[in-house]
Structures are given as C-alpha cells and as structure tokens.
C-alpha cells in the first residue's frame, strides 16, 4: 500500500521505541505508587484511602493553571533558544547532560537492582551530606555518568537516543495528570503550540523556529573549555559538536536521512497514557475487579472489557503513523501533536462517555471513599 511505502525502517524503529517508552514509563509510575503506599502503611497504623496523587515530594502533579501556562513557557524557551542559542548553548548543554545523567540512572535502576540483589544487601551507604544510597543506585549512577562522558567525547546518535529515552521515562514516571480536564487543557494547548511553531513561525521569523532549534547542534563543552584555557590546538579540539537529547533519531536503511521524533511528542501523550493506566487499575480495584459501572444505553460486555489504556495506546500508534505518512507526503516536518492529540483524546472521551465514566474522570477521579486496599498488582 502507499502508506506502507511511505514508512521505512527508521520510522518503524521510532514507533516501537516510543511505544515501549510510554508503556514502561507508565508502569514505572504505577509501581512508584505501590512503593509509596507500602511505605505509608509501614509508617502509619491507620489505613488511609488512595487519592491517586503520591505523597512522594519528587512527584509533580500538574494543575489547571500550570497546564494553561505550560505552552506559553515552552514558547518563551523556544524563542530564547532561537535568538540566543550561541550565548546559552554551553550552559544549556551542561544542564541537559546533568539531567540526562540522572534520568538515565533512573532508567537503569531496575536492572542494577536485579544484578546486585544476589551479592549485595539493600542497606544504604552513607556519603555524608550527599545522602545515603544503595549499591544498585550507585551502580546505575556510575554507568549513567560513563555513558554521558562517552557521548560527550563521541557525539554518537545512539548514545544521544539512550539519554533521550531516560529523559522520557523519568518525565512520564515523575509527572502526573490528576484528571481528564487537566489532560485536555494541557494537550490542547500543546497542540496549538506545536502547530503554530511548525507551520506559522516561518511567516514571522523567516525560519521554521521549531525545526531549527531541534536540529541545531551545540558546541562541545570540552572544545569550549580547551579554547578558554588555551590548551593548544590538539587538546579537546577534535571532539564533535553535540546534538542534544531532546529527540529520538534513527537512520534510514540507506543512511540518507534520519527519522526524528521530539521527546515532547512521547512524553505529553505518555502522561495521558499514564493517567488512564492508573485510572484503569484504580477502577478495577474499587469495583472488585469488575470492568466498570454500566454506561448509558446497552454497552456490550466486550466493550466493557476494553481498557482505557489499550484504547489510548492504539490511538497513539495510529496518530504517530498518520503523522509519519503526512510528513513523507508533504516532504516537510509535521507537528506530531496535531495527529497524536485527536487520535488519543477523542477515542478516550468517547469510550469514557459510553462507559459512564466521563463525569468522574473529568474532575478528581481518584478521590473516593476510604479503602484500605491498594492497587491491583501489575
């Protein structure tokens, strides 16, 4: 088919990796809820109800005001990078490397916990004012630092992708959408943001601001340090410029071009997927493992068994495929959220209405009567 001919191996890799990142990040977020509930049970003799928002201080829940102003803040950041990139590129590269190190350590942590469990106790090692860490945490952080250093020295796209994957998983796991209303506000605002900066920015700034910022490489900090300290022409001068890990890139089978997908096109729909996964498990537990209360009209049993998570995940895949085909047909960059937001939100809203959950999901869906039970274990 024509659609198939417009998708090559690089796009297939992008599809699979982005879906895996969303699924993995969503389940990591859910497991963090389990761990926090276990800690609360250990620290308190009275059982409290689950409210869907973890008490962990490291988790950020987006409210309506933040959802409305996030596209504006993103626009300001985009303009700063567009006009003042040469001035802030080194600082931005260093900050990105630090964040990517922490995020990739979080991505590696389950593997390191599995590797260190047979040979090392889970006791934490004190490092004074730096805090206390387990052997698995130290191992994951060490591996992450090593990977970032190799990326700085080589600038290889595969290492950049690995760091971008860590950023995606960490953002999906640590940022929460509390309700469907906030989800709609956030994704609708980001859709307008994406469409404007991809399609209309060239009419105002004589350049596609989004594409230029996303593809512009930054000076390597080692090269800048070498020039500042006058270390000589052969010290730190042969390192490549760095393409920052704000995107996933995969080369085509011919090597003639790269397929690119911004991490915002993974993280923002991923936050919606994380929300519906938490709601699916919350509702399943609250209803005694039933698939939901009957909605208006005659809803078939098969329809009731379809989870919101699977419905939204399929919509994400279809939207990503549509965006890829559109970019190949028009031979130009496309705002992926233009396709991802309708294909994820509209099926979710329709299914929520048919199941009778729309009103509850719209505002504070996780607040309910007291219950001492926890989520269904995944």
* pLDDT tens by residue, 291-305: 444 444 445 556 667
DSSP-derived pairing of the beta strands 247-251 and 258-262:
antiparallel
Phi-psi region of 206 (alpha: psi -120 to 50; beta: other; left: phi over 0): left
Q: How many domains does the chain have?
A: 1
pLDDT of residue 37: 73
Q: Is residue 372 pLDDT above 80, yes or no?
A: no
The catalytic residues are: 194, 265
Under the banding of pLDDT at 50, 70 and 90, the label for residue 26 is very high
Is residue 239 a part of any domain in this protein? Answer: yes
Average pLDDT over residues 348-352: 93
Which pair of structure tokens corresponds to residue 57? 């201080």
Contacts of 247 (CB under 8 A, 6+ apart): 164, 214, 260, 261, 262, 263
Under the banding of pLDDT at 50, 70 and 90, the label for residue 52 is very low
pLDDT of residue 13: 81
Q: pLDDT by residue (tens digit) across 238-291?
A: 788 888 888 898 887 666 667 888 999 999 999 999 999 999 988 888 776 544
Is residue 45 a part of any domain in this protein? Answer: no
Residue with the bigger pLDDT between 128 and 296: it is: 128
pLDDT of residue 374: 45
Is residue 316 a part of any domain in this protein? Answer: yes
> Which residues in 99-246 belong to E strands, given as ranges?
125-126, 132-133, 175-176
Q: Is residue 162 pLDDT above 90, yes or no?
A: yes
Is residue 55 a part of any domain in this protein? Answer: no
Is residue 206 a part of any domain in this protein? Answer: yes
Is residue 68 a part of any domain in this protein? Answer: yes
Separation between Cα atoms, residue 218 and residue 242, nearest integer Å = 5
Task: Tell me the percentage of the chain whose pLDDT exceeds 70.
Answer: 81
Find, among 87, 67, 263, the residue nearest to 182 by Cα. 67
pLDDT of residue 66: 94
Q: Is residue 187 pLDDT above 50, yes or no?
A: yes
Which pair of structure tokens corresponds to residue 138? 């130290």
pLDDT of residue 87: 87
Q: pLDDT by residue (tens digit) across 66-115?
A: 999 999 999 999 999 999 988 888 888 999 999 999 999 999 999 998 88
Is residue 46 a part of any domain in this protein? Answer: no
Q: pLDDT by residue (tens digit) across 202-246?
A: 899 988 899 899 888 888 888 888 777 766 666 556 788 888 888
Q: Which domain holds residue 107?
A: 9-38+60-118+132-285+298-363
Q: Is residue 158 pLDDT above 70, yes or no?
A: yes
Look up residue 218 and give its DSSP letter. Answer: B
pLDDT of residue 53: 45
pLDDT of residue 256: 62
Q: Is residue 49 pLDDT above 70, yes or no?
A: no
pLDDT of residue 221: 85
Is residue 53 a part of any domain in this protein? Answer: no
Under the banding of pLDDT at 50, 70 and 90, the label for residue 35 is confident
């Amino acid at each position: 088919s024509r659609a198939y001919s417009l998708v090559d191996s690089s796009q297939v890799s992008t599809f699979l990796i982005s879906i895996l990142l969303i699924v993995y990040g969503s389940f990591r977020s859910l497991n963090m809820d389990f761990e926090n509930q276990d800690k609360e049970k250990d620290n308190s003799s009275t059982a409290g109800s689950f409210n869907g928002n973890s008490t962990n201080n490291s988790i950020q829940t987006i409210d309506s005001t933040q959802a409305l102003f996030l596209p504006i803040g993103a626009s300001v950041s985009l303009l700063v990078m567009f006009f003042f990139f040469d001035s802030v590129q080194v600082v931005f590269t260093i900050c990105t490397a630090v964040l990517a190190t922490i995020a990739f350590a979080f991505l590696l942590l389950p593997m390191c916990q599995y590797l260190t469990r047979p040979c090392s106790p889970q006791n934490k090692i004190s490092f004074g004012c730096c805090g206390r860490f387990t052997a698995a945490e130290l191992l994951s952080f060490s591996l992450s630092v090593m990977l970032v250093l190799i990326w700085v020295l080589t600038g290889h796209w595969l290492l950049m992708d690995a760091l971008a994957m860590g950023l995606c998983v960490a953002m999906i796991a640590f940022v929460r959408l509390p309700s469907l209303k906030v989800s709609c506000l956030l994704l609708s605002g980001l859709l307008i943001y994406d469409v404007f900066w991809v399609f209309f920015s060239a009419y105002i700034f004589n350049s596609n601001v989004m594409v230029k910022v996303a593809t512009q490489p930054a000076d390597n900090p080692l090269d800048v340090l070498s020039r500042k300290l006058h270390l000589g022409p052969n010290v730190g001068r042969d390192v490549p410029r760095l393409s920052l890990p704000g995107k996933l890139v995969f080369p085509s089978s011919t090597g003639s071009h790269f397929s690119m997908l911004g991490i915002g096109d993974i993280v923002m729909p991923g936050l919606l997927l994380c929300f519906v996964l938490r709601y699916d498990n919350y509702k399943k537990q609250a209803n005694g493992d039933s698939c939901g209360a009957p909605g208006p009209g005659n809803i078939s049993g098969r329809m009731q068994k379809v989870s919101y998570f699977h419905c939204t995940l399929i919509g994400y895949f279809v939207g990503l495929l549509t965006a890829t085909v559109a970019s190949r047909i028009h031979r130009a960059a496309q705002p992926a959220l233009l396709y991802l937001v309708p294909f994820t939100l509209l099926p979710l809203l329709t299914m929520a209405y048919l199941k009778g959950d729309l009103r509850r999901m719209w505002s504070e869906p996780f607040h309910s009567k007291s219950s001492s039970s926890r989520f269904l274990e995944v």
